[in-house]
Every structure is written in structure tokens, then in C-alpha cells.
Amino acid sequence: MILSRTLAFALLYCYRAFGCPNGWMTHDSSCYHFSHDTEEWASAVAICKILGGHLVEIDDATENLYLVSQAKLLNKSFWIGLNDLQEENSWVWVNSNTPASYTHWHPGQPDNGASNENCAHLYPGFSFSWNDKQCYTHYNYICEKAAEGSEIVG
């Protein structure tokens, strides 16, 4: 009986230590919120901050693969935190203000097609590879924050 209570407490502690709030999904040491509403890119940035996180910064192929697998289930475009608003074709993450060291652009992208495509999103039309788009377009968005008890680097 004592062993089962100890085990139950340990499992509860681990969940709380590395858990995510309701409406967020856990992957590695991060929590992700896939929005149900659509917003302009700047509004998505602001909402993610209100929720205690930031618009997702994708650090590597493993993280991108996870996010794409979830986005495919919902079959919607999702804003990510990458932009070239300060300098054309200099793509940086909005939260950390660092250049993207990993990218997964669709071939031929970013192309600044409408001469004002400065924000990046996961695009279903390109098999969820990255595309640049006008920042005022309304898309779903992905917020990211550290799971409780862990620390996010990117």
C-alpha cells in the first residue's frame, strides 16, 4: 500500500514537474498550443505572450517533424515566429531575435511574392514546408513555452 502511494505520488510529481497546461501538448521539454482561432501574425505574437509563451521557434528537423505531424492532423496553415520585417531576406525569430539556423522552406521560398511577404508559416499547399506570406493574413498559430520544470533554449 505504501509502495503504491509512493509510486502514485512520484508519477503525479513527474507530471506536474514536466507537464503542460490544459490545451497545450508536450513534446520533449516544450509545450505547444495549436490555436483554434486565426489571427494576423503580430496578433499571434501578442496572444502567445499573453498565454505565457511565444510564437514557436523551430530549432531542428525533429521539432519541425513533430509540429508538421500535428499540423497535418488539423490541415490548416500555422504561423511560426520567423520573419524578415527588419531587413528583407534576413529571417530571424521574433522571440529570441536570432537568425534561423535551421529552416525548412519549400523549394523557391521565401520568394517575397507579393513584395511584402515578411512572415513565415507552415503551409498545407506545400506539404507543410515553410512559406513566406503577408503578415496581415489570418492564419492559425503555434505557441511554445517550456514545460514546467524544464527550460527552453530556443
d(CA 84, CA 90): 5
**77-117: per-residue pLDDT in tens?**
999 999 999 999 999 999 999 999 999 999 999 999 989 99
How does pLDDT run across 17-51, given as a tens digit for each residue? 459 999 999 999 999 999 999 999 999 999 999 99
Q: How confident is the model at residue 114, as a pLDDT?
A: 86
pTM score, whole prediction: 0.85
CA distance 107 to 125: 12
Q: Map out the domains of the chain with their CATH numbers.
A: 2-146 (3.10.100.10)
